[in-house]
Amino acid sequence: MTEKEKLLEAISNDPYALQYASEELKADKEVVMAAVSKHFYALQHASEKLKSDIEVVMAAVSFNGRVLQFASKEIKADKKVVMAAVSNHGDALQYASDLLKTDKEVVISAVSNNPSNFEYASEELKAELRENRQMVLEFVKNSGRVLQFASEEIKADKEVVMAAVSNSGYALRYASEKLKADKEMVMAAVSNHGIALKNASDELKKDKEMVMAAVSNNPYALQYASEELKADKEVAMTAVSNKDVLAPHLGGGLQYASEEIKANKEMVMAAVSNNGYALQHASDELKADKEVVKTAIYKNVFALKYASNELKDSLIDKTIRLEHHGSDSYGTVYCLGRIYMSLPQFHEYLSTEKLFDINSTDSLIEFLNSEVEKWSDESGEFNWDEWSEFKHFYDEPLVEIDDWGDIDDLKIYVNEELIATF
């Protein structure tokens, strides 16, 4: 096997193997193409000649535009290559030639995915954009937030700002105060970026039609509505029924609804049916409502964390009292302080040490709390060393976790079959 064949085989597993190659192989186009096809940053180890090869550089920047920094000076001045680079990583504009930093087409492409990349444009182009209405209009149609770089006069131009907010509702924050109070303008903004309601005038935050449009787009827009509309059932129902795919653990729009809404069972049922984590924002009374809690944990079992202690204890108790299975067929895991125990482990622990009769009617929760207290010192600190010596009963070591917590931190993962018995 030749050195080249050995390197090609190595590159198939590790594209960075190119950096250890001979200068001759770093100048071999077949080898370098194989490397940059596996990982774009391999371009930095290519020969200077190949860093000037359009085909090689184009293959690399098509994956990640930032590797334009490793290309030759001539390639950085090639518009086709630079356009390919900034199309997938706008900040590659910083590596383009000075001439291309003044090219509107190149800069528009660079700022279309992140307007902050405009900082890499030439000073000449920045100055022209600030005062050139037509240029701003052209830019904001592709990246609305470029409006921030325009003059105050242009920020008050309705046609320009409408083009900006139609592209990105976020651009409303850069509009003049007059346009932030323009219903048509704000409606266009919140329809594609509900959170833009934050930048609307106080009057429009009281406008039900406006708020409905905003929460239909983003449930968290409810936080910027007037107090009156936060208590409006139609508005709240729209917000809590809107799915949050980015951060469901925050519990959706219910957190910004009025206290009356949070205590309304119909509203909360709609919220937890859509997102189990919404239970954290329900009233204390509804956190103790079995139907509400059951609906929430059906949607997401981790929502059990937010149930009342009584219902939480009830489900934990019911879970632990399951018959001893040869395997953890219910997918149940217990976390008692720092100790993870599967269902079989826990049953063996109880029976081996004769600590608790699983078939009795005694309170398991009280027993578990007493166990925590038993292995804690006077200050309440869990005595891990003593517990470690004691837990010799089980052949395999139990898995440790980082955080110590009390019985309220007991983590349990259950399937629908178990919840149905709740």
Check residue 422 and give its pLDDT: 54
3-state secondary structure 182-207: CHHHHHHHHHHCHHHHHHCCCCHHHC
Query: Does some domain include residue 87?
Result: no
Question: If you average pLDDT over residues 5-14, what whole number do you get?
Answer: 83
pLDDT digits (tens, 9 = 90+) for 376-398: 778 877 676 666 665 544 444 33
Check residue 389 and give its pLDDT: 60
Query: Does some domain include residue 289?
Result: no
By three-state DSSP, how is residue 340 classified?
strand
Whole-number Å distance between alpha carbons of 241 and 253: 8
- Kindly tell me if the per-residue pLDDT of 208 is higher than 70: yes
**Helix, strand, coil share (%) of the chain residues, nearest 5:** 65, 5, 30
The DSSP output letter for 397 is P
Query: Does some domain include residue 354?
Result: yes
Which of 104-118, 193-207, 210-224, 371-385 has the weakest average pLDDT?
371-385
Query: What are 69's two structure tokens?
Result: 């920094």
pLDDT digits (tens, 9 = 90+) for 47-99: 999 999 999 999 999 889 999 999 999 999 999 999 999 998 999 999 999 99
Query: Does some domain include residue 415?
Result: yes
Question: If you average pLDDT over residues 97-112, what whole number do you get?
Answer: 91
- Kindly tell me if the per-residue pLDDT of 127 is higher than 60: yes
Query: Does some domain include residue 126?
Result: no
Question: In terms of DSSP H, where are the helices of 321-363?
Answer: 343-353
By three-state DSSP, how is residue 400 classified?
strand
Domain span including residue 404: 308-422
pLDDT band of residue 164 (cuts 50, 70, 90) is very high
Mean pLDDT, the chain, rounded, equals 82
The DSSP output letter for 334 is E
Question: Cα separations (Å) of 243 from 238, 278, 287, 296?
Answer: 10, 11, 21, 14
Query: Does some domain include residue 327?
Result: yes
From first CA to last CA, the distance across the chain in angstroms is: 67
Q: Is the pTM of this model over 0.75?
A: no
Check residue 7 and give its pLDDT: 80
Domain count, the chain: 1
Query: Does some domain include residue 164?
Result: no
Beta strands in 19-145 (DSSP E): none
- Kindly tell me if the per-residue pLDDT of 115 is higher than 60: yes
pLDDT band of residue 408 (cuts 50, 70, 90) is very low
Query: Does some domain include residue 365?
Result: yes
